[in-house]
Amino acid sequence: MQIEPTPGRVKAARMIAVAADLIQLGGFPVFLPGWASPADDVLDVAVGVALTWLVGWHWSFLPSFVAELVPGMDLIPTWTAAVLFATRGKGAVEPEAEPMKVITPEKR
């Protein structure tokens, strides 16, 4: 099943990724143990599922998920980088084309 990311889905995915990275950065003491932190694991799984649901699977989500298991890597905005890479050029609003003008010959 191919998901076509709309501008709203892309924006929501980017907001979720930024929020997750800010939570992990702001809650550094809670997320410090990396793979040993259940709160970190729950957040990462939830973010991964949400991003995949919003914009579809992209291979850049996998390294981000693995990097989140390494202690201290939560200080790097891996989710934000992954979703920006996965959604680059997608969900852009295309300008509406001007309607074609019909030229008719003048009657004399």
Give per-10-residue mean pLDDT for the chain (108 aa). Answer: 80 94 79 66 89 90 83 81 88 63 76
Q: Rounded to whole angstroms, what are the CA distances from 92 to 11, 39, 61, 76?
A: 10, 34, 21, 27
Output the pTM of the full model: 0.73
pLDDT at residue 71, as a whole number: 72
pLDDT at residue 68, as a whole number: 77
> Using CA atoms, how far apart are residues 47 and 104, in angstroms rounded to an integer?
57
pLDDT at residue 91, as a whole number: 59
pLDDT at residue 39, as a whole number: 77
